[in-house]
Amino acid sequence: MEKLQILRSSPNYDELVELYKKEKNSKLKERYHALFLMYELKNCTKVAELLKRSRRTIQLWVTAFNGGGINALIPNTPPGRPSRLSKSQIEELKADILTHPRNLGYEFSNWEGKSVSYHIKKKFGVELKVRQCQNLLHKMGLTLQRPKYKFPKADPEKQKEFVKEFKKSSIRLEMTT
């Protein structure tokens, strides 16, 4: 049986080390690490022992790299459960959320998880839990914004005077205790 070794010349050892240092994805980083160790040690068993992986895993990574280059090492993400809303529905939902709820005929003023869940059920006939709607809002890049309450009849001068008097009385209380 032929000894497994790295056949590609690009990227070389130094480039692999740089890729390893810069990589944020831990799975891909581990694969780069295995490759540059293969350059050094030239033995799958020793690399597997160092990385606490099976010899077969290291062989698969080296074979993938030899066959398809650095892009062949990128791990496939598992598909997961498909979204209950299509991409077009999500875009339509985002457009709705960017408009004020009262313009769509609702009694509430803020889009939050509960109100988004209600809107999705009413518009698309799909039932999503509140937390899932909050996650969906986050994926769309939206955050919960609550208005600051303003009191139109309030007098700013009287408010400042009240705060001043309140501080004085609280200082007096601290001195007596």
Query: How would DSSP label each residue in 2-60?
Result: PPP-----SS-HHHHHHHHHH---HHHHHHHHHHHHHHHH--HHHHHHHHT--HHHHHH
Residue 173 has pLDDT above 70, yes or no: no
The tokens describing 135, both together, are 């996650």
- The answer to whether residue 52 is domain-embedded is yes
What is the domain range of residue 45?
Answer: 13-73
Residues 56-92 pLDDT 10s = 999 999 999 988 888 888 888 778 888 899 999 999 9
- The answer to whether residue 42 is domain-embedded is yes
Residues 104, 134: one domain? Answer: yes
- The answer to whether residue 3 is domain-embedded is no
**For the chain, what is the domain count?**
2
- The answer to whether residue 64 is domain-embedded is yes
Q: Where does a domain end: 45, 73, 101? A: 73
DSSP 8-state code for residue 105: T
Q: Does residue 101 sit in helix, strand or coil?
A: helix
Residues 112-155 pLDDT 10s = 999 999 999 999 999 999 999 999 999 999 988 887 888 888 88
Q: Phi, psi at residue 162, to the nearest 5°?
A: -65, -45
Other beta carbons less than 10 A from residue 156's beta carbon: 7
- The answer to whether residue 153 is domain-embedded is no
Q: pTM for the whole thing?
A: 0.51
Q: In 112-155, which residue ranges form alpha helices assigned H by DSSP? A: 113-124, 130-139
Residues 44, 94: one domain? Answer: no
